[in-house]
Amino acid sequence: MSLTDHPFFTELLSGLVLNPQQLKHTYFAPRSHNNQGHALGNGLGVKFPRLEIVLRGSYTAEKPAGTSISLAHGDALFIPAYANSQPTWDKDVLLLSVLFAPSYIGFHFFDKRAATAGFHRLRTLEITQQNAEEIEHILQALNALAARTADSDIGRYLVLSLLHVCRNQLALPLANKMQRGAFLYKSICTYVQDNFSSGLTRESTAAMFNISANHLSRIFQQEGSMSFIDYLHWVRLGKAKMILQKYHLNVNEVAHRCGYSDASYFCRLFKRQFEVTPSEYRERFLSS
């Protein structure tokens, strides 16, 4: 986190929230139907939703099939996850772009001069999400609007609400903000606990949080007491014990419910962890 960019974005969002009349129209980029986080045709599909606001000047966002949206000063563009949108950068523009990932919010400020290559000024900031549920509700409402309309007064108020939540998070004392590594570790642990029965891997979990598999491993080395794979087994085997205690399911069913497609592998892990087989554990529990 940059200490110089933090007050810059705090002041920028405060100006928008305290002067809502500056926000004019809200437009919506079309969402792609294949839900893949990569370029689609001439557009750019990003796996997380974004909000872009023109602070000065204008720019054009290209859409599929050769269509486009022209945005002027005060206009906002909501881009759902995987939506197809690509700015042309052919005019002078000051643009605020906010990306909403599961564990963090990314702020980007672009100062583009049409007569020069690259950006005249570029500032970025990432903060951990402190009110993820509140933000998610607003994003869901914006996604619903994006599915049926191109411009909406309701969208304008939702955008203002989203900016207000972001501004409040930026206004939190830096000392009270959880470091991103610790926050990511907590978020990943929660995700594993909620999805232990699915085919989780280190790679798929890292992709969910938009980080590399090696970065995920480093987070568990720095913040936890075991590796990611060991933590995944720890959660699954703990759930297996609970299932064995409460339900009369055979070992194959228990293994499947805990995310293991191979019952023999599940039994080996269980015995290594608890020094008894799943069947022996159930017998001892029922006889105690």
Tens of pLDDT, residue by residue over 202-255, are 999 998 888 899 999 999 998 888 999 999 999 999 999 999 998 999 999 999
pTM (global) more than 0.75: no
Q: Which two tokens stand for residue 213?
A: 């598999």
Phi-psi region of 33 (alpha: psi -120 to 50; beta: other; left: phi over 0): alpha
pLDDT digits (tens, 9 = 90+) for 7-53: 889 889 999 999 999 899 998 887 655 444 443 333 445 678 999 99
Q: Which two tokens stand for residue 210?
A: 């938009």
Q: Which one, of 48, 53, 20, 6, lies nearest residue 209 by Cα?
A: 48
Domains of the chain with bracketed CATH: 5-176 (no CATH), 180-287 (1.10.10.60)
Q: How many residues does the chain have?
A: 288
Task: Give CA–CA dist 207/213, Å, rounded.
Answer: 8
Task: Give CA–CA dist 154/142, Å, rounded.
Answer: 9
